[in-house]
Amino acid sequence: MDSSSSSSSSSSVHLALAALFGASVMAISAFFVHKRTVDQVLDRLINLRRRSPPPPAAVTADGFFPSEDDGGGGGYFGSDGEIEIDKARSSDENVLNSYRVSCSMPNVGLPNEWLDDEAMRFENRLPNSWDKLDLIPSGLPPLHTARRDEQDQSINISGSNIPVGSGSRLMTPRSSGGYAFGSMGDSDEEGTELATEQDILFTYEDNNALAEYVNENNPNIHNLSAPPFEGDNKSCILDQNCNAIRHEAKENVDQHGAGKEDTASLHIIRNDPVFANSILPLTTAVHESMNKEEEEVRKMIRECLDLRDRYVYREKVAPWMKATVEPSSVSGTNNDPLSFVPVEATAHHFRMEDGVVRVYAGENDLTDLFPVASSTMFFTDMHHLLKVTSIGNVRSACHHRLRFLEEKFRFHLLVNSDREFLAQKSAPHRDFYNIRKVDTHVHHSACMNQKHLLRFIKSKLRKEPDEVVIFRDGIYFTLKEVFESLQLTGYDLNVDLLDVHADKSTFHRFDKFNLKYNPCGQSRLREIFLKQDNLIQGRFLAEVTKQVLSDLETSKYQLAEYRVSIYGRKQSEWDQLASWFINNALYSKNAVWLIQLPRLYNVYKGMGTVTSFQNILDNVFIPLFEVTVDPNSHPQLHVFLMQVVGFDIVDDESKPERRPTKHMPKPAEWTNEFNPAYSYYAYYCYANLYTLNKLRESKGMPTIRLRPHCGEAGDIDHLAAAFLLCHNISHGINLRKSPVLQYLYYLAQIGLAMSPLSNNSLFLDYHRNPFLMFFHRGLNVSLSTDDPLQIHLTKEPLVEEYSVAAKVWKLTSCDLCEIARNSVYQSGFSHADKSHWLGHKYCKRGPEGNDIHKSNVPDTRISFRHETWKEEMQYVYLGKARLPQEIDI
């Protein structure tokens, strides 16, 4: 059994080996047979090409080579000076057609589908010998062959980037003979790519070289150096990239052959009616439509900029143009900024009408001195702006311009970064630490860091435990009793227990972020330490504020714009705030103040504090007009308003809201429980501030600018409204969602006080923050802290903000100094202060207004920013922009 089984297994092995040997022999034989067949076909093709030429034919009057019927010999000149064989002229054609070529045969035949479609109509006009070499079915993928000898030359088509035959086509297994006309590099299909240099059979050369060659071979041919595409209303497809394409193609030809031109292909393209009448008019129409579309886009951008000019308040006389006068004659104050000097009242009369204060020269006068755009007009214009931002071609155009600006800045850095660094090194004394930096967005209640607040609370518990600080539930509590009710002692307190720092729990939770204002999670502690309208009249908050101001003055080069709240619940809030400011002597040369209005109508309506939105407007703006007309009516408020430079609108922007229409109810009619939309708040604040500023300017008093929170979250409606109404905004990170608004903000150079660390805790991770992109593109951006109590860890939160940005985004010293310079321009500090900090010519645009010894920003950087902005403005205004020589602050 063992011997029989072993013999059967050995026989099976022998049979398998014999079968394998037989198969191998057959495969080798088939390979050599196939190779011999291919070689025969190739040799036959070469012999046909080397055939002796007939006498050269002349060119007919219409520019074509004569066909066989015309007696012209049926040939034409090839790229190597030989005569090409015309269609149906070779006696061996039937032999070629009889070959059954394998699908693995190299792609020596170049199918010309473009010419094949008209082969019957233009058989005598298209002497293209390559058509007869179409030996491969059109459904098979093209295969590449190497050059067999020096006779295989690439054929050049002068003056055009149009592919002929299979030249410059996309090499894809889906299309063996298809063309990538006009989109050779844009296909998204997988496996689609441009042919390599070795595969390009049709390349491009200069017309002059072609003309010289043809003239040398046939002196009867003239003016062939003219553009290959002629006729009425026909344009050449050449564009600005054509020269680069020609040179690249010429290099390819020089690498692979003698670089000779084929005149036949030139005549084919030049005289083919299908190409001339179909392709060219289509291209011309595309260019014309694109030009018309671009013009429409620029027109719409200009209209949007003109809309902003119609709304934004600007002083008639710039601060630097005003004559130097004594402060007492202007503001009613002497050298002490906190003392009041009586000022005579004027005869102006004002009254609130439909939510907007109207000012008249007298009580019986009916002429509005300072008319402002109506709400209907504003909402109509805002909707027009939103419509423009949603148009596809406008979005694409603005996106391309912004990308261009970004790449332009990067190129500037490549060329000039070393030069900027050397310029900074040559500026004596100045560096990032001793240039002025303004914290353009910081809330006063959170202006200290958490460790500072902890030390202050402990010190008050130790020094003033018996101070009566709060009235709750009909009982007066001392500070010690308050902490005993919380079962806390001074020793128990630490930063973690204080729990005022934002963490992961606050991300996309604005409600939880607001709760971080409550130390130890207790609203009573917030009322005691972080409120100015409490039982102790805000004494604790004033004391900690003085400590923060003292730190600012010690640093000397850091400044801040603090925001304090007016809620609009009652008119007496203004006098309480002014009294707190004056009585606690909170003036500092390193700080100015803004008023912030929380958008809390729905809360006050639910509490019964107000009955309509008109009540909030009355409580906020009536006292301001009263003190402006007669400063003696509110003397402390008059003094305080000398330090107020801006008006802010704050609250959670992520709350859903309905977009206002031009038929919105008047404020007195807004009696429902829903909060008005952001743009509704913005318009009525703007309209009243516009009238107030006109009145204050006419009396020589400082004005108050609208600088709201905007674009931190929510819809882009907020940014559209702010573009029309506001000077600067805080945050603006949602501009990344609207390229049109982003481009408009760039052109208008609207200031953006951005707070990346704050956004990182609330709405946007730090690495996704668009600050760096905005800065590269040239938007007017600055860095700010927002809420140091919740966000920052160090004693100098503004420097911490700069340092984190510098490390994460690799900002250079020049970048940091430019951002700091922007913050001074955005701030509301006086002309005298800015002149001292930036140079007496700071109001001039461009390098003329820059002093590197003050700002530490090289003129190279300022010149680049200015020239780039000018070019964009001229682009939008078609070179007719009238650009001011001075900045718009």
Name which of 258-262, 591-595, 765-769 the model is least confident about. Answer: 258-262
CA distance linking residue 586 with residue 605, whole number of Å: 33
770 touches 745 (CB < 8 A): no
20 confidence band (pLDDT: 50, 70, 90): confident
| Predicted pLDDT of residue 290 | 58
Quote the tokens at residue 89. 């002229």
Task: Give Cα separations from 103 to 107, 130, 138, 140 (angstroms).
Answer: 9, 19, 11, 7
CB 735 within 8 A of CB 390: no
Cβ–Cβ under 8 Å, residues 138 and 113: yes
Chain centroid to Cα 441, Å, comes to 22
Of 491 and 407, the one with more pLDDT: 407
Range from 69-78, 448-457, 807-816 carrying the lowest mean pLDDT: 69-78
Mean pLDDT, range 571-594, rounded to an integer: 94
What per-residue confidence (pLDDT) applies to 316?
Answer: 85
CB 87 within 8 A of CB 124: no
pLDDT at residue 9 in the model: 65
User: Which residues contribute to the annotated binding site for Zn(2+)?
Assistant: 441, 443, 709, 786
pLDDT at 625: 96
Which pLDDT belongs to residue 8?
61
Q: In 124-225, which ranges are continuous DSSP H helix? A: 207-217
84: left (phi over 0), alpha (psi -120 to 50) or beta: beta
DSSP secondary-structure letter at 154?
Answer: P
Q: Above 90 in pLDDT, residue 876?
A: yes
Tokens of 269: 């393209």
Lowest mean pLDDT across 322-326, 348-352, 403-407: 322-326
Q: Annotated binding residues, as ranges?
A: 441, 443, 512-517, 709, 712, 786-790
Query: Is the alpha carbon torsion for 253, 256, 259, 264 positive or negative?
Result: negative
CA distance 79 to 287: 34
16-25, 172-181, 208-217, 229-238 — which one is most confidently predicted on average? 16-25
731 is catalytic: yes
Residue 109: φ, ψ to 5°: -85, 135
The stretches of 739-851 forming alpha helices (DSSP H) are 739-748, 756-762, 771-777, 788-791, 797-809, 813-826, 831-838
Greater model confidence, 261 or 663: 663
Tell me: the pLDDT tens digits for 690-735? 999 999 999 999 999 999 999 998 899 999 999 999 999 999 999 9
| CA separation for the pair 578, 554 (Å, rounded) | 26
Residue 730's SS3 state is strand
**Residue 245 tokens, joined:** 């394409």
Say if residues 140 and 108 touch (Cβ distance below 8 Å). no
High-pLDDT (> 70) share of the chain, %:
71
Q: Which two tokens stand for residue 458?
A: 């402990």
Residue in the block written with tokens 């409120």 = 531
pLDDT in tens, 536-563: 999 999 999 999 999 999 999 999 999 9
What pLDDT does 25 receive? 82
For residue 407, give the nearest of 774, 776, 859 by alpha carbon.
776
pLDDT at 265 over 60: no
**Please, are residues 642 and 702 in contact by the beta-carbon 8 Å criterion?**
yes
- Token pair 């018309």: residue: 292
Q: Name the active-site residue from 348, 444, 731, 866.
A: 731
Where are the chain's structural domains?
24-271, 311-876
Mean pLDDT of the chain: 77
How far is residue 770 CA from its own chain's centroid? Answer: 9
How far are the Cα atoms of 287, 414, 537, 541, 639 from residue 580, in angstroms, in the given order?
67, 53, 7, 10, 12
**What is the spatial distance between Cα 500 and Cα 518, in angstroms, rounded to a whole number?**
7
On whether the CB atoms of residues 92 and 99 are closer than 8 A, the answer is no
> φ and ψ at 710, to 5 degrees?
-160, 140
User: 341 burial class (0-12, 13-18, 19+ CB within 10 angstroms)?
Assistant: middle
Q: Residues 106-152: pLDDT tens digits?
A: 444 444 444 344 444 444 444 444 444 444 444 544 444 444 444 44
pLDDT over 90, % of the chain: 50
Total residue length of the chain: 889
Which 3 state secondary structure label does DSSP give 674?
Answer: coil
CA-nearest of 819, 809, 721, 817 to 779 is 819
- Report d(CA 269, CA 167) in Å as an integer: 14
In 286-353, DSSP assigns E strands to 349-353
Q: What is the reported pLDDT for 195?
A: 37
CATH architecture assigned to 311-876: Alpha-Beta Barrel (3.20)
CA proximity to 624, closest of 683, 673, 575: 575
The pLDDT of residue 588 is above 60? yes
pLDDT in tens, 375-420: 999 999 999 999 999 999 999 999 999 999 999 999 999 999 999 9
- Whether the per-residue pLDDT at 571 is higher than 90: the answer is yes
Please give the annotated binding residues for substrate, written as ranges. Answer: 443, 512-517, 712, 787-790
Q: Is the pLDDT of residue 343 over 70?
A: yes
- Say how far apart CA 322 and CA 689 lie, in whole Å: 22
Res. 193: pLDDT tops 70:
no
β-sheet bridge partners, residue 840: none
> What span, in angstroms and rounded, lies between the C-alpha atoms of 833 and 822?
15
